[in-house]
Structures are given as C-alpha cells and as structure tokens.
Amino acid sequence: MLTVLYFASVREKLGLAAEELPLPTGVQDVAGLIDYLAQRGGGWERLAGIRNLRCAVNQQMVAFDTPIKEGDEVALFPPVTGG
C-alpha cells in the first residue's frame, strides 16, 4: 500500500487529506502516480495541472522522476509562499 497525503489547497480541491491505495500497476515514480490519480477525473484532473506542485516521498523533498514502491508515503502540496 501507498499512503498519499494531500496538503493545503491540494487537500481543499480534492476534499481529501489522505488515502491509502495499492501501488497501481505500471506506476514507477511520482509523476506516474500523479498521472494515475488525474485519470480519476473531476478535481483529480486538476492535480496534474497545478503549477509548481511539490512532492515528498517518505518526508524527503523529491523530483517527479523519483521512484516509488509499496510502503512509501507520498505527500503532494502546492508551493509555499511567504511574505
């Protein structure tokens, strides 16, 4: 199982803070997971279109080509702004 966490505006757009799902067949990296989730349609399609979407795997900031495996925790969140 993967644990997928959604933060800030991503969580608000999806109406979901977290979920667990089996690693989808053929998904090997974060980008593949995002594409898989976007195929759900509706608000999920917007996930793939968020500019500068950030991600972490097992609490480490990573690039979208980072491999994922069963048991990983993947967090998705918008870029942080400050002022």
pLDDT at residue number 42: 85
CATH number of 2-77: 3.10.20.30
Rounded to an integer, the average pLDDT of 15-41 is 95
* Res. 26 pLDDT band, cuts 50 70 90: very high
Tell me the pLDDT band of 43, cut-offs 50, 70 and 90: confident
Phi (first) and psi of residue 53, to 5 degrees: -55, 135
pLDDT digits (tens, 9 = 90+) for 15-25: 999 999 999 99
Q: What is the pTM of this model?
A: 0.91
**1: amino acid identity, one letter:** M
Cα dihedral value 34, 19, 10, 12, nearest 10: 150
So where are the chain's domains? 2-77
